Amino acid sequence: MGIGGARRGGEPKPVGDVLARYMRTSGLGEKLRSREIYDSWPEVAGAEVDKHTRVVGFSGCVLHVEVDSPPWLHMLSTFKKPELLTGLRQALNGVRVRDIKFRIGVVAPTEGNPWPRQANPPTTRATSRSYPA
């Protein structure tokens, strides 16, 4: 078949239709939606929640988020999940987020701080011990 001709005996298709089909079948559409979710999480979650969480995946309409401590895991999964889901659905027009799964994990260090963020880092007094001389 020559350049610009129809393939397989069919009529030429509009480019928009071809691209839409490719996005559905290649998985590229889901990857782009995932990127939107990663980018919008800090705004939707808020600064305090964002400090203690890290988005690690999005598959099958489920967002996977790592949390830096058991207290934060409990608070987010028990009390904040409905609010976060509503915020994501409003911020991400057309992206279907059915659920958020939280799990304990390592949250990336903040800029200028080489250690992973912790919900309640121990104080010197709490971690020091007196040993006999």
Domain ranges in the chain are 46-107
Four-way CATH pick for 46-107: 3.50.50.60, 3.30.300.180, 3.40.1390.20, 2.60.120.10: 3.30.300.180
CA 129 → CA 7, 12, 15, 54, distances in Å?
78, 78, 70, 33
pLDDT tens, the chain, 133 aa long: 455 555 566 788 887 777 667 656 655 555 556 678 888 999 999 999 999 999 998 888 899 999 999 999 999 999 999 999 999 999 987 778 899 999 999 886 555 434 444 434 333 343 344 434 4
**What's the rounded Cα separation, in Å, for the pair 27 and 47?**
31
Residue-wise pLDDT for 56-88, tens only, equals 988 888 999 999 999 999 999 999 999 999 999
Element (H, E) at 117: none
List phi, psi (to 5°) of 20. Answer: -60, -45
